[in-house]
Chain A
Amino acid sequence: MRCLTSTIVHHNITREMDKPDFELKGKRNRPVSVNSASGLKTEMSEVREVGIRVNELSKVNSIWERWETLASSHENREAVVHWVAGEEPIRWTYGDLVSAAKSIASKLKKCGVKRGQVCAIIIRHNPFFYPVYMGIAACGALPAVLAYPNPRLHPDKFRQGLEGMSKRSGLDWILTERELVGMINPLVQTAKSTIRGFYFPLEWPEVEAPSNKDIQLEASFVRSDPFLLQHSSGTTGLQKPVLLSNGAVLEHIVNYAKAIDLTLSDKIVSWLPLYHDMGLIAAFHLPLAFGIPTIQIDPFEWVLAPQLLLEAITQEKATLTWLPNFAYNMLADKLSEDKLEGIRLDSLRLLINCSEPIRHSSHQKFVDRYVSYGLNPLALSSCYAMAETTFAVTQNPPNREIPHLVVNREKLASGHVVEAKPYESSRICVSSGILIDGCQIRIVDKNRIDVTHGVVGEIAIQSISMFDGYRNYPQKTAEVFDNGWFYSGDLGFCHEGNYYIIGRQKDIIIVAGKNIYPEDIEDMIGSLIGIIPGRVVAFGEDDETLGTEVISVVAETNAKDDREKQLITNQIKLACISIDVNIANVYLVPPRWLIKSSAGKPSRKANLDRILAEKLQK
């Protein structure tokens, strides 16, 4: 009898975790070796097997089918290494994982989950997250991983966001932890709610691992069947539900594996949240479909102790990881030498920067810090990706230094790429790589016409792994699709086949890889006492030290004395906590200070430029 015990792993509670009754095959305390010692013969057989694997992926109809095949052919191969700070990791083999997923699937069906329904998963870092996710897929339902609410986010705001998502995406079920019942229950009770119910799968009593004949799973998947639903990151109510088919994900795994020369010797490590495409697709679906291990670190633990990533790389000899730019700064600047004792990064062959603008200085400082710990500078790589294309569109080829261009800053701001002369104000643009198979890019102007070489424009994409549209949001889908091309809203240019991403058309702020919508901030602050309503702008300011943007706010006020202004500043910062936004800089200005756009509203860009100019003068 195997069972799933209530092993809720939380980074803040004691570590006396109930050992799962579910018996995991393979040794608990040492990695399952996948490399033999026989050198070239192994290498050749691995190359052959990689080729076979890629061919297999091209033939299967669904991700679930692929997982079942791996569980059958490679039962004892390591699939997921669930990492917990200061503890022995929990190791899932493919066999155990799929078997557990089938148990979950059986339970889900008994609970009423049907094919095509959306199951939101709101669960923290937990070893049983993975079979829950896979069990949903086994039913033919769509898993949708959502972020567990940050303690700073006001419960009402979390509920509003979830309600908005429910109406937009049509959430059917919520699989979560009992602590959230107070927040979620009202959603189910609401008359127009799509949510049929919620469950706490981590608490389910013993579930017998059934034989194949006991479970009637959805046997006939086709590649066009919807597979997962992913919500774009953002603040309340503005999330877009990206629907991906089995075919889109499978095609992407084939093409992206080729782009990064993925082999059976690879081992992926990640602290990235699984509600984000980089974490979910690159660090979870890619390895699990390809048949290599993924080491999963708790994002909450990582931000408090970034050395966890380096320890996992050292101990597991991990070869690939993906990071947003700010993480390079954090790892380079915030870890003292004593925390790096024993760290070796020799095994790492690709460290891929993605999900926010890449800063050359961040890479430089990371290399400077870690080359003496065995880091190969050529391991630093980059890609450009988004949920709408499943993940990557471009990738810097392995073992190639990432190209960069030093361009005239002012000319770039006006949309032209011109190499900077030594005495000119410059910006270093870092390449996000070349196209991966199955993707095409055009750089277009506001009228969606191709620009000439050396001009910045919006990036339009065609991809064999394109999403099936924003679920239940045809209007938004129509806005971004035109004649087979997806218009990303990102700005960039192409130079010698390399793509450089330099910003966004819209004013979205990207802080530590997370999209923040300035409208949410402005609405919140505009309602505060002491602020003139409608006279607030929020924008991102580049922070070279942190390697990311920080949020700044300019607000008009009638307040004159410093004490009153300080109180207003504190009030602004506190108010924004409730929408899980940290304001780094508050600029209080007198009435009529803000520059308006031609539409009569305060212009974010113009006011950002004004603030920066005033700072330079001081």
Chain B
Amino acid sequence: MISEKLKSVILKELKLDEFDIRDDTTADQVPGWDSLSHLSIIIAIERNYGIRFKGYEILKCKNVGDLQRLIDSKFP
């Protein structure tokens, strides 16, 4: 389940008022989420959550659900 916090960070970064973001939502389905904005989103997540993604963890995320689980893993 995607938290409101993660959804809010993504929408704010993409300047979207609302968009239905779910577990299986992929980047290509979200308006504005492309190669130029992707890193900005990741940086915004790191800043908002106070975390750092290591190495190539991000590359393994296939959808927003994977991203949520990766974030959650930083808070055992």
- Which residues of A does B touch, CB under 8 Å? 11-12, 85-86, 150-152, 301, 303-306, 326, 330, 334, 336, 338, 511-512, 546, 548, 550, 566, 570, 573-574, 576-577, 582-584
Q: Are B59 and A85 in contact (CB under 8 A)?
A: yes
Q: Looking at the complex, which one of A304, A511, A583 makes contact with B38 (CB distance below 8 Å)?
A: A304
Q: Looking at the complex, which one of A86, A151, A334 makes contact with B28 (CB distance below 8 Å)?
A: A151
Q: Looking at the complex, which one of B19, B29, B39, B58 makes contact with A334 (CB distance below 8 Å)?
A: B39
Q: Looking at the complex, which one of B31, B39, B46, B55 makes contact with A86 (CB distance below 8 Å)?
A: B55
Contacts A334-B43, A546-B36, A570-B16 given; does A577 touch B31 at CB 8 Å: yes
Contacts A85-B59, A334-B40 given; does A584 touch B28 at CB 8 Å: no
Q: Are B39 and A306 in contact (CB under 8 A)?
A: yes
Q: Which residues of B contact A151 (CB under 8 A)?
A: 26, 28
Name the CB-closest residue of B to A548: B36
Q: Are B32 and A336 in contact (CB under 8 A)?
A: no
Q: Are A304 and B28 in contact (CB under 8 A)?
A: no
Q: Looking at the complex, which one of B29, B43, B58 makes contact with A577 (CB distance below 8 Å)?
A: B29
Q: Are B32 and A305 in contact (CB under 8 A)?
A: no
Q: Which residues of A contact B31 (CB under 8 A)?
A: 570, 573-574, 576-577, 582-583
- Which residues of B does A touch, CB under 8 Å? 16-17, 19, 26, 28-29, 31-32, 34-40, 43, 46, 52, 55-56, 58-60, 62
Contacts A11-B59, A152-B28, A582-B32 given; does A303 touch B17 at CB 8 Å: no
CB distance from A8 to the nearest CB of B (A): 16
Cα-based distance from A251 to B29 in the complex (angstroms): 44
Cα-based distance from A581 to B38 in the complex (angstroms): 15
Consensus secondary structure, chain B interface: helix
Name the CB-closest residue of A to B54: A338
Q: List 25 A-B contacts (CB under 8 A).
A: A12-B60, A85-B56, A86-B59, A150-B28, A152-B29, A303-B38, A304-B35, A304-B38, A304-B39, A305-B58, A306-B39, A326-B36, A336-B43, A336-B52, A338-B52, A546-B36, A548-B36, A550-B36, A570-B16, A570-B17, A570-B19, A577-B28, A577-B29, A582-B31, A583-B32
**How many residue-residue contacts, CB under 8 A, span A and B?**
63
Cα-based distance from A583 to B34 in the complex (angstroms): 10
Name the CB-closest residue of B to A85: B56
Q: Which residues of B contact A511 (CB under 8 A)?
A: 36
Q: Are B29 and A330 in contact (CB under 8 A)?
A: no
Q: Which residues of A contact B34 (CB under 8 A)?
A: 582
Q: Looking at the complex, which one of A152, A303, A305 makes contact with B56 (CB distance below 8 Å)?
A: A305
Cα-based distance from A583 to B37 in the complex (angstroms): 12
Name the CB-closest residue of A to B16: A570
Inter-chain pairs besides A12-B59, A326-B36, A574-B31, 13 sampled, C-beta below 8 Å: A85-B56, A303-B38, A304-B39, A306-B39, A334-B43, A336-B43, A511-B36, A566-B17, A570-B16, A570-B19, A573-B31, A582-B32, A582-B37
**Shortest Cβ-Cβ A-B pairs, 3 listed:** A152-B28, A573-B31, A303-B35
CB distance from B55 to the nearest CB of A (A): 6
Q: Are A330 and B39 in contact (CB under 8 A)?
A: yes
Cα-based distance from A105 to B40 in the complex (angstroms): 44
Cα-based distance from A546 to B35 in the complex (angstroms): 11
Q: Which residues of A contact B26 (CB under 8 A)?
A: 151
Cα-based distance from A304 to B67 in the complex (angstroms): 13
Cα-based distance from A330 to B52 in the complex (angstroms): 18
CB distance from A329 to the nearest CB of B (A): 9
Q: Which residues of B contact A574 (CB under 8 A)?
A: 31
Cα-based distance from A573 to B16 in the complex (angstroms): 10
Q: Are A584 and B52 in contact (CB under 8 A)?
A: no
CB distance from B10 to the nearest CB of A (A): 14
CB distance from A160 to the nearest CB of B (A): 18
Q: Which residues of A contact B60 (CB under 8 A)?
A: 12
Q: Are B36 and A512 in contact (CB under 8 A)?
A: yes
Cα-based distance from A548 to B17 in the complex (angstroms): 25
